[in-house]
């Protein structure tokens, strides 16, 4: 499934909510479904900089596609990272590097619902993913 198809799936989920609090509840639900992060990978090298809470992202390569694993101690951050993980997983470097956080948030209808600090954290997560992908490419 393509990144755009995954974004559209997420968009359809969030489109049923008008109230920002309902959207936050759904974000938290995404995070609750994501319990696959290995605690052994909670290393400083995988920490997402600029997040108010502790958050990690770990990238693995399988042939020419990438899988990411994310975690955070904060429910909303964990949920947002889980959305990013779902959107990105099983994508190529070019697909991932063409992503825009603002575009993702706008397409799924969260651009006006989350704070600028969380938007910046989301951007930092994508940058950390790209940094790790570049390490694989060396």
Domain spans of the chain? 3-137
Bridge partners (DSSP) of residue 72 are: 55
- For 32-95, the DSSP string reads HT-----GGG--GGGBPTT-SS-EEEEEEEETTEEEEEEEESSHHHHHHHHHHHHHHTTEEHHH
pTM passes above 0.85: yes
Sheet holding 91-92, edge to edge: 55-62, 65-72, 91-92
Region for 48 from its dihedrals, namely left if φ exceeds 0, alpha if ψ lies in -120 to 50, beta otherwise:
beta
Please report, in tens digits, the pLDDT of each residue of the chain (138 residues total): 899 999 999 999 999 998 989 999 999 999 998 877 788 889 999 999 988 799 999 999 999 999 999 999 999 999 999 999 999 999 999 999 999 988 899 998 888 888 888 888 889 999 999 999 999 877
> At a CB cut-off of 8 Å and minimum separation 6, what does 26 contact?
13, 14, 17, 79
CA distance 103 to 77: 18
Domain 3-137 class? Answer: alpha beta
- Tokens 């390490």 label which residue? 135
């Amino acid at each position: 499934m393509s990144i755009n198809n995954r974004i559209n799936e997420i968009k359809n989920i969030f489109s049923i909510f008008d109230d920002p609090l309902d959207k936050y509840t759904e974000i938290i639900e995404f995070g609750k479904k994501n319990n696959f992060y290995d605690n052994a990978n909670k290393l400083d090298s995988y920490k997402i900089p600029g997040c108010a809470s502790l958050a990690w992202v770990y990238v693995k390569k399988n042939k020419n596609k990438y899988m990411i694993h994310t975690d955070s101690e904060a429910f909303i951050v964990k949920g947002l990272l889980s959305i990013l993980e779902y959107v990105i997983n099983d994508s190529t470097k070019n697909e991932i590097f063409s992503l825009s956080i603002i575009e993702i948030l706008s397409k799924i209808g969260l651009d006006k619902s989350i704070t600028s600090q969380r938007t910046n954290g989301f951007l930092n997560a994508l940058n950390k993913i790209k940094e790790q992908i570049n390490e694989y490419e060396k």
